[in-house]
Amino acid sequence: MRIFLIFVALTLIACGGNGGTSSNPPPPAGPTLTAIYDVQGAGEASPLVGQDVMVEGVVTGDFQEGDADIARNLGGFYIQSVADADFATSDGVFIFDGNSPATDVDVGDAVRVTGTVNEYFGETQINASAVSVLGAGAIQAVPINLPVAATTTNSDGELIADLERYEGMLITFPQTLTVSQLRNLERFGEILLSEGGRQYSFTSRNVPDVEGYAAHLDAVAARRIYLDDGLRSNNDAAVRSIRNGDEIINLTGVLRYSRGSGPAGTEAYRLMPTLDPQFDSVNPRPGAPNVSGALRVASLNLNNYFTTIDTGPNVCGPASDLDCRGANSEEEFSRQQRKTVSMIASLDADIVAIVELENNASESLRSIVGGLNAVFGADTYDFVDTGTIGSDAIKVGFVFRPADVQLVGPYALLDSSVDARFNDRRHRPALAQTFRSVASGEQLTIVNNHLKSKGSSCASDGDPKVGDGQSHCSATRNAGAAAMIDWIASDPTSSGDTDYLIVGDFNTHAMGDAVMSFKSAGYVSLADTFIGADAYSFEFDGQLGALDHALASRSLAAKVVDAAEWHINADEARLNDYNLEFGRDPALFDPTNPYRASDHDPLIVGIEF
């Protein structure tokens, strides 16, 4: 129940001289008192936009500029009044009073405001022309439980929780909410929270389906709320050290509707805290993975490891005509290289299959191996020297320890020239290499791949986005998987051995078509076997999913004794990576730990021959 507890009555005292009448005409009548719920109205926009109104209420959130509270500065404050009987209308509203307000208000002040009703990026506001403090009052926060009863769409067509009837009001979430995304924590002080635990992508746990995916998106939106920091400024120095998966309870603040992080931000309802949020660290940073097995193979995506500095011109790729996607300065590259070496060194793997290397002759791999050997000693690590592969700006590659494994024969590549179903204008060519264990003499062939991403369309190839939960290019990825399955069956490295491990970034979740094609062909998902339905290597839009997989042939699966994901990247805020963009404090960086070395989590497989 929304409760107005105290409102101080104002006693009006008549003033005058001898009691006579004045010869001056009375001033023109101003706006009469209007209830806040009438300003808000029952729709998304106020029915009084453009009109001058006078409202009264109690200050529930002080976000003024230029006052003593520098931790909150939205250019105004929120007020709330006694509730009416209509639960479709809000009893709170934001008062915009600019950068230098004439009246400094505090939470608990009972105020009268005169101003013009305005809609600012979807939020009903009153642009104040006069503010006066009448006395004191108090408002009790309204408890809201997620999921909400209904969702709506924002102006971008995205589903969000429908909280319009609470816009501008003081609310509290008595439930435990889970941190689901930290993408804009550093720059905009924004955290995406969800009720009911962590959220997973649809095809992580469901077969692709149009109706099922639509229902999934609706359920996801109904459980979400954004926590913002109540600041218009960027890069607040007081950055919270939290991880995805951490929790908070009894979150309290005022509710606003905005994009939060500039014109490109998500348009949604956001809680502006009036009490400092206190998070529980229930997902602490994991230590180095303890994966059993005499031979360890790791797979990791490095999120564009480029030795060519990205200074602007398109000079990368085999033809030196593609954009450079990595570090923007030598200092950034040094930071990236040290983080990458720290991560690979901590994996303690005999073979490392790497995705998203700069597609140059050998510089990208040589840089990584050089960093590792500087730590462990000369010739501890080496790489498979493939030169450039295909025509893309990035490629896949292998790093290995010669003391533990030896190369058997030449590598092999799968591209469009081998099988037209493998569209190398979309995929990066797959790389196969056979290795022999020095200790046992046994050998296995590893196929490292990077299938087409979900982020851009393949409609021009007759592969449109169909809305079944797989996003763009699902048919292209599945055709590439089918080509790879047949290619492997042809023994591309002439190993004469049936032990195959297919790893890399499939850009497909566990129940997506491309991964399911491998399972149907008899390959065993090691994440299914050793991790289960909670497997994930990547977070996108606040939802978890495994894009990075390890699939073993039947003969090899019998020799795999362990597998694990190391969650050092997907759960970390970007402020811990190598970048120095947007005025980041360089002192936040720690090159000695592997956390946020990339955006994908590594996957490690233990084999006992």
Domain at 134, CATH number: 2.40.50.140
Last residue of a domain, one of 82, 109, 139: 139
Q: Which helix (H) or strand (E) holds 340?
A: helix 330-347
Both 301 and 351 in one domain: the answer is yes
278 lies in some domain: no
Both 182 and 219 in one domain: the answer is yes
279 lies in some domain: no
How many Cβ atoms are within 10 Å of 162's Cβ, its own excluded? Answer: 17
Both 376 and 497 in one domain: the answer is yes
Specify the pLDDT at position 588.
Answer: 85
Quickly state the pLDDT bin for 241 (edges 50, 70, 90). confident
Both 383 and 509 in one domain: the answer is yes
Quickly state the pLDDT bin for 584 (edges 50, 70, 90). confident
DSSP assignment of 521-564 equals: TT-EEHHHHHT-TT--SEEETTEEE--EEEEE-HHHHTTEEEEE
281 lies in some domain: no
What proportion of the chain, given as a percentage, has pLDDT over 70? Answer: 94
Specify the pLDDT at position 221.
Answer: 98
Quickly state the pLDDT bin for 29 (edges 50, 70, 90). low
Specify the pLDDT at position 73.
Answer: 86
Q: Using an 8 Å Cβ cutoff, are 199 and 180 in contact?
A: yes
Both 373 and 479 in one domain: the answer is yes
21 lies in some domain: no
Model confidence pLDDT, tens digit, residues 421-480: 999 999 999 999 999 999 999 999 999 999 999 999 999 999 999 999 999 999 999 999
Query: Which residue bears the tokens 């001033």?
Result: 27
Strands (E), 121-169: 123-139, 142-143, 151-153, 159-161
Cβ contacts of 215 within 8 Å, gap of 6 or more: none
Last residue of a domain, one of 113, 139, 165: 139
286 lies in some domain: no
290 lies in some domain: no
Q: Which of 403, 425, 152, 382 is nearest to 267 (CA)?
A: 152
Model confidence pLDDT, tens digit, residues 275-306: 989 999 999 999 999 999 999 999 999 999 99
Quickly state the pLDDT bin for 232 (edges 50, 70, 90). confident
Both 489 and 432 in one domain: the answer is yes
How many Cβ atoms are within 10 Å of 422's Cβ, its own excluded? Answer: 25
The pairing of strands 151-153 and 159-161 is: antiparallel
Beta bridge partners of 95: 77, 126
The DSSP secondary-structure symbol of 242 reads -
518 lies in some domain: yes
Both 153 and 116 in one domain: the answer is no
Mean pLDDT score of the chain: 93
Q: What are phi and psi of 4, to 5 degrees?
A: -100, 110
Amino acid at 262: G
Model confidence pLDDT, tens digit, residues 148-165: 999 999 999 999 999 999
The pairing of strands 428-437 and 247-258 is: unpaired
- Structure-block tokens of residue 532: 């289960």
Specify the pLDDT at position 36.
Answer: 97
Q: How far apart are CA 312 and CA 201, in angstroms?
A: 35
Model confidence pLDDT, tens digit, residues 359-377: 999 999 999 999 999 999 9
Last residue of a domain, one of 118, 139, 160: 139
Both 129 and 246 in one domain: the answer is no
Q: How far apart are CA 338 and CA 324, in angstroms?
A: 19
Specify the pLDDT at position 20.
Answer: 41
Specify the pLDDT at position 24.
Answer: 57
Q: In terms of DSSP H, where are the helices of 378-440? A: none
Both 356 and 472 in one domain: the answer is yes
Number of domain units in the chain: 3
Cβ contacts of 373 within 8 Å, gap of 6 or more: 379, 380, 381
CA-CA distances (angstroms) from residue 200 to 281, 404, 469, 519, 535?
20, 38, 12, 21, 10
77 lies in some domain: yes
Both 162 and 253 in one domain: the answer is yes
Both 548 and 454 in one domain: the answer is yes
Domain at 535, CATH number: 3.60.10.10
Can you give the residue range of the structural domain that contains 149?
142-273
Both 444 and 533 in one domain: the answer is yes
Quickly state the pLDDT bin for 237 (edges 50, 70, 90). low
Domain at 194, CATH number: 2.40.50
